Structure 1
Amino acid sequence: MKPHAFWQDLHPAGSFSQTEPFVDGYPVALRDGRQILLPIRPLEGGRNALASLIVNQASFAVEDALADDLAGKLAPFEPQIVVGLPTLGLTLARSVARRLGHTRYVPLGTSRKFWYEETLSVPLASITSPQAGKRLYVDPRMLPLLQGSRVALVDDVISTGTSIVAGLKLLESCDIDPVAIGAAMLQTRRSHERLRAIRNDLPERIRYVFETPILEATGGGWIAASSGEPAPV
């Protein structure tokens, strides 16, 4: 499949085999069985790889399907406001908020506006954006929407947990404890240790559309190396 063709189509259930090894891509399934084929990204050294998802490059149909699925899984928590993590989590968070019947959502940001307060920020890095010096901000004008509300924190992908932890720490500094954490993809369960370091029950609040493991190279392609410990779907 050509690079620009990934994330564009919702394929009928059973279109791609789940049998290892995987060669052309890594298939994942929605709750209704429809499949999306994700590109496999080799990590440094080439021995391991991860399935990749970039939501803002997905077709509108795929974005809608991911938002529908995640909103359905977050609805039992009865969130009153959705908070989105930059950058790619903002696309998903906005769509999820609309499906939950909300009239708006709260985007966190990495661009410091002149009216922002440095005390309402935390350092931010992620597996795809590791540059030092970046900070995560909440617009102080948004605090009345968050304080005292049931908040769902949404990102596109939860991988190592650094972005989610930054979001949680920023909200904690505002006395906000999210009732749920949502993502389209749980990319392994490496994040759980970081989350438990904040509070032991946080992994139980995670809801996601699908999960992908670390992949390991073989002679014929890629096989799942490990997905870690169980997490709620």
Structure 2
Amino acid sequence: MTEHPPAPEARPAPMRPQDFWQAVEPAEAAAPAPWTDRFPARLPDGRVLHLPIRPLAGTGNAIASLILNQASFAVEAALADALAERLAPFRPDIVAGLPTLGLPLARAVAERLGHARYAPFGTSRKFWYDEGLSVPLSSITSPDATRRLYLDPRLLPLVEGARVALVDDVISSGTSISAGLGLLARIGVTPVAVGCAMLQTERWRPGLAEAFAGPPEAVVGAFRSPLLARDGEGWREA
């Protein structure tokens, strides 16, 4: 009897760029590594959100990315549900959101936690703002060192002495979330938790460990995405 080698595993067809972040799929939709154009990020309930894989120029590595304001409303809702569930045990009094893409997520999370409002930080200085309630702000996608992060003085009573959950869309290098922590520190507040939709790789850990006085388990995400390494024509976890 002639033995035949097993047929190569069928790989999913490439996704069109506009189709990423549009659906949360069942757990079985995740293909095993090596991955070609998409990384299957696992939500806490096991479902999958496919993220585009973006090679890092000049390296043998890549990352999976999330652009929250390009996501479908259903995906936004699923991520807010997951993050609210992970923040609920910390019993925050107020959710503070970081610009830009952290603001709609923070608002949705606050609503799911039963709050009537949230505290948005901003980068646009109004004439009544106090420079003492601001810090420099940069991020991996917006490295402009001239930007500043502000808290409207009228919102100060919401966060002073409160149990604050600080929310952003993605924690990648940790610079944006560290700016938010620095601004809260100016008013004597250490958040009870830090949350985001995606914890991207592990690069953020050293900087955040310096900026955040809370325990490591108080930094939570709806899902994680690892650093990826080249594997033939595809990618796998580094």
State whether TM-score is above 0.5.
yes
The match for 2:91 among 63, 78, 86 is: 78
- The 5-angstrom pairing of residues 146-225 of structure 1 reads 146-199=159-212, 201-225=214-238
Task: State the alpha-carbon separation in 2 of the partners of residues 54 and 122 from structure 1.
Answer: 25
Q: In structure 2, how many angstroms separate the alpha carbons of the residues matched to 1:199 and 1:108?
A: 18
From 43, 58, 62, the counterpart of 2:56 = 43
Residue 203 of structure 1 deviates from its aligned partner by: 2.7
What SS is found at the alignment partner of 2:109? Answer: helix
- Could you tell me whether the CA contact under 8 Å between 1:195 and 1:202 is conserved in 2? no
| CA distance 1:56–1:199, shift in 2 (3 Å) | closer
Question: Structure 2: which 5+ runs fail to align?
Answer: 1-14
Instruction: Give SS of 1:207's match.
Output: strand
CA distance in 1, matches of 2:203, 2:171: 9
What's the counterpart of residue 26 of structure 1? 39
The corresponding residue for 2:79 is 66
Give the 4+ runs in structure 1 shifted more than 2 A.
Answer: 198-204
Structure 1 residue 117 displacement after superposition: 1.0
Indicate conservation of the 8 Å contact 2:181/2:212, yes or no: no
For residues 155 and 80 of structure 1, what CA distance do their matches in structure 2 show? Answer: 17
| Cα offset, 1:204, TM superposition | 2.6
Provide, for residues 80-100 of structure 1, a one-character-per-residue CA deviation record: whole Å limited to 9, x for no partner: 100001111111101000000
The alpha-carbon deviation at position 201 of structure 1 amounts to 4.0
AA of the residue aligned to 1:82:
V
2:151 is equivalent to residue 138 of structure 1: yes
1:12 aligns with 2:26: yes
Contact 1:195 1:203 in 2 (8 A): no
Secondary structure at 2:141 match in 1: coil
- Structure 1 gaps of 5+ residues are 226-233
Secondary structure of the 2:236 match is strand
Q: Which residue of 2 aligns with 1:230?
A: none
SS of equivalent residue, structure 1 residue 143: helix
**% same residue:** 61
TM-score with structure 2 setting the length: 0.91
3-state SS of 1:39 partner: strand
Q: Distance in 1 between matches of 2:169 and 2:211?
A: 21
Report the alpha carbon displacement of residue 61 of structure 1 after superposing the two structures with TM. Answer: 0.4
Q: Does the CA contact (< 8 Å) of 1:71 and 1:100 recur in 2?
A: yes
Kindly provide the CA deviation profile for residues 98-141 of structure 1, in whole angstroms up to 9, marking residues without a partner as x. Answer: 00000100110111111111111111111111122111111111
Query: How many residue pairs get matched?
Result: 224
RMSD value over aligned CA atoms? 1.2
